[in-house]
Structure 1
Amino acid sequence: MHTLADHYFSSILDYLQAQGISTKTALHAISFDEFSNQRTHQLAPRISLNSYNALLVYGKKTLNDPLFGFTLGQQIRTADYGVLGYLIESSDNLSSAIKALLSYDSLVADIGKAKFELNTDTATIRWIAHQSCNEHVVLRNMTAWVSVIRQLINLTLSPSSISFTYNWLPSQRRALESWFKCPVKSSAEYNQISFPSDYLTLPFKTDNAIINSTFKQLSEQQLSNFKSQQCIDDKVNQLLTAKTTLQNCNLIGIADALNLTPRTLQRRLKQQDLTFAQLLEKERKKRADTLIASMPLADLSNILGFKDQSSFNRAFLRWHKCSPLQFIKYKTASTAK
């Protein structure tokens, strides 16, 4: 599941609101339902990439802005990045800021991977976006990087070149080149920003070693928590696999084994676009495929945790488009050949 922090998502809503579009209207338009509290409509801590894509497309269409991601990137503030923003802001120079970005970028958005290359005269940041990211995700990301660095070093600072994998119209490319103040390449192999390597040692206006150390520790803690949440489906799968029978196996019992409340487990799984029922069904199907011909079907349905054999038969039909007996007959015939 690829997600981004709620504050990074909310900054788009703030911009739309400044343009006269209410948050309620925007979220309703994209059928958004990722709330940690449905009663107060408070955003969940992490928002899915699908919702992010949808909101950007909505903004583009509603504001008739074909470069909506570019517009958003220019409006970025370090606060929109959360803890990572403050860590970057308190760095001593661009080199330190890039190291922070490479280490903790997933705290803001786990939707791509940043890579850094350094040659004699040129440095390059390449962003390999997840295949589901639309062009506005990439536009916002790369524009925001340049915007933040300008804020922290010099507003007139410009890259050597910008490359996008997308094909921009001549008028769009001119608009991009006017703001970036450098050549912009379309239909490139990578999305990347190249700049003189001398920029790496330019000092930040907001350099503060003590604050930087504090935010680095906080970033480490948040990254550790984020990774543990990312693996929640693996932990559930391990517990399911370890059970000799899936009878009486339910959300409450699994949550208790993980020292979580059922609500928390549900929320963490939802952040990965999963439910406990889906993981349980996956384990049932895996066991059924392995054990199908080794025991009576009544015993197998009991081990898999079904209340009766007819429930098992219906599930099996859903999995394989045939009955258990038909599957056994086909499997036996295939083995005999």
Structure 2
Amino acid sequence: MASVSIAYLQSVLHYLHDLGIEPPAHNANMALSNSDSAHEVTMEHYVDLLNCGALLSEQSLFGFELGKRIQAKDYGVLGYLVESCENLEQAIEALIRFDSLVADIGETEVSHLDQQIQLDWHVKSDDCKQMVLRNTTAWVATVRKILGEHYQPDEITFTFNLSHNERLTLSNWFNCNVTTNAIKNSIVFSKALLSIPFTSENKAMFQALIQVSEKELQARQPNENIKEQVILLLKAKSSLKHCDQNRIAAALFMSPRTLQRKLKHQNTNFIELLTDERKSRVDFLLTQHTIAETAYELGFHEQSSFTHAFKKWFSTTPLRYQKLLLKK
């Protein structure tokens, strides 16, 4: 059943308390009594409490106001883990790996545009306005806290409708265009942000938190799908240069040998998954770059190696393939 950390519920109650509002006892008690454990609350009751908060506070952007107040403790161990990452790329890898520990209410998908990264959030609830507003705002607020107030996304999209005033409020805070009634809930930002060092870098803390998170994840998901995790991480890479089994294993917080063994159990291997990701990027790269640049972006050390692999994939040369693409 879809659920969130009880810390999510508590952050709502604390915000309402600061506003001088006490929600009807049955709303909070219902959420707590229907929790799957002492640490989780069902998504249904979390959404109900968010909607109740919006009604009682008369804030149509209640989730947005709540997200601006985000603190690391609201994400539990994952919050402190993200803050101890070296950069945004590593933070996204950690979120993909461990997000289910704090909120199993949606799935994150990473897409690569030309000079941008797009994070799409597919939620598990049709009644998602306040929940999406909170998560989107909290994500941006957290990155700003780490990278500095100068950080801003390039575009925010929401699947639901917003009034003109609501859009204006959000556009002013996010400092970018906000689109409503979109196909996806998305955050689009520059690839350049991925490698900016976090000012709160703490490698010792990072390693300690990784161990805690990994143990908890293993306890919850004894049969985790490592193949899916590798695919997600490969897609999250802005470029495949210097992307090898050792790097992906490190991102999954395990040894290369362990990664190799787990993938073998799922009837695949790292080279197969890397090849699939390389092939999925070929069309876009060849319409935007030279063959040599495409080879480099796909992680080939020499253009000749890329050409050899390309012929095996598509039974033609990169040059002929590129000419056909550019004619379309």
**Normalising TM by the smaller chain, what interval?**
0.5 to 0.7
Separation in structure 1 between the aligned mates of residue 149 and residue 219 of structure 2, nearest angstrom: 35
Displacement of 1:132 in angstroms is 4.0
Deviations 1:174-210 (A, max 9, x none): 0010000000001111000001100001111110111
Separation in structure 2 between the aligned mates of residue 27 and residue 6 of structure 1, nearest angstrom: 16
Amino acid corresponding to residue 32 of structure 1 in structure 2: M
TM-score between both structures, scaled by the size of structure 1: 0.63
2:97 to 100, 103, 106: 103
State whether structure 2 residue 161 is matched by structure 1 residue 163.
no
Amino acid corresponding to residue 197 of structure 2 in structure 1: P
Amino acid corresponding to residue 78 of structure 2 in structure 1: L
Gaps of 5+ in 2: 225-328
1:32 to 26, 30, 33: 30
TM-score between both structures, scaled by the size of structure 2: 0.65
Separation in structure 1 between the aligned mates of residue 24 and residue 193 of structure 2, nearest angstrom: 39
Distance 1:193 1:14, change over 3 A: same
Q: How does 1:178-327 map to 2 (within 5 A)?
A: 178-227=172-221
Displacement of 1:134 in angstroms is 2.0
Deviations 1:214-243 (A, max 9, x none): 11111111112233699xxxxxxxxxxxxx
Deviations 1:32-53 (A, max 9, x none): 153499xxxxx83110011101
Separation in structure 2 between the aligned mates of residue 174 and residue 193 of structure 1, nearest angstrom: 17
Amino acid corresponding to residue 14 of structure 2 in structure 1: D
Distance 1:59 1:113, change over 3 A: same
Count how many residue pairs are aligned between Structure 1 and Structure 2.
223
> Could you tell me whether the CA contact under 8 Å between 1:87 and 1:215 is conserved in 2?
yes
> Could you tell me whether the CA contact under 8 Å between 1:36 and 1:44 is conserved in 2?
no
Separation in structure 2 between the aligned mates of residue 49 and residue 229 of structure 1, nearest angstrom: 23
Aligned residue in 1 for 2:108: 114
Aligned residue in 2 for 1:304: none
Distance 1:47 1:185, change over 3 A: same
Separation in structure 1 between the aligned mates of residue 34 and residue 145 of structure 2, nearest angstrom: 34
Separation in structure 2 between the aligned mates of residue 48 and residue 208 of structure 1, nearest angstrom: 33
Amino acid corresponding to residue 12 of structure 1 in structure 2: V
1:59 to 36, 53, 68: 53
Separation in structure 2 between the aligned mates of residue 4 and residue 173 of structure 1, nearest angstrom: 27
Gaps of 5+ in 1: 38-42, 231-337
Distance 1:177 1:195, change over 3 A: same
CA RMSD, aligned part only?
2.1
Separation in structure 2 between the aligned mates of residue 169 and residue 198 of structure 1, nearest angstrom: 32
Aligned residue in 2 for 1:21: 21
Displacement of 1:28 in angstroms is 2.2
Separation in structure 2 between the aligned mates of residue 78 and residue 112 of structure 1, nearest angstrom: 20
> Could you tell me whether the CA contact under 8 Å between 1:36 and 1:45 is conserved in 2?
no
State whether structure 2 residue 141 is matched by structure 1 residue 141.
no
Report the 3-state secondary structure (helix = DSSP H, G, I; strand = E; otherwise coil) of the residue aligned with 1:162: strand
> Could you tell me whether the CA contact under 8 Å between 1:30 and 1:54 is conserved in 2?
no
Aligned residue in 2 for 1:152: 146
Q: What is the aligned-residue identity percentage?
A: 35
> Could you tell me whether the CA contact under 8 Å between 2:27 and 2:48 is conserved in 1?
no
Distance 1:27 1:155, change over 3 A: farther
The structure with more radius of gyration: 1
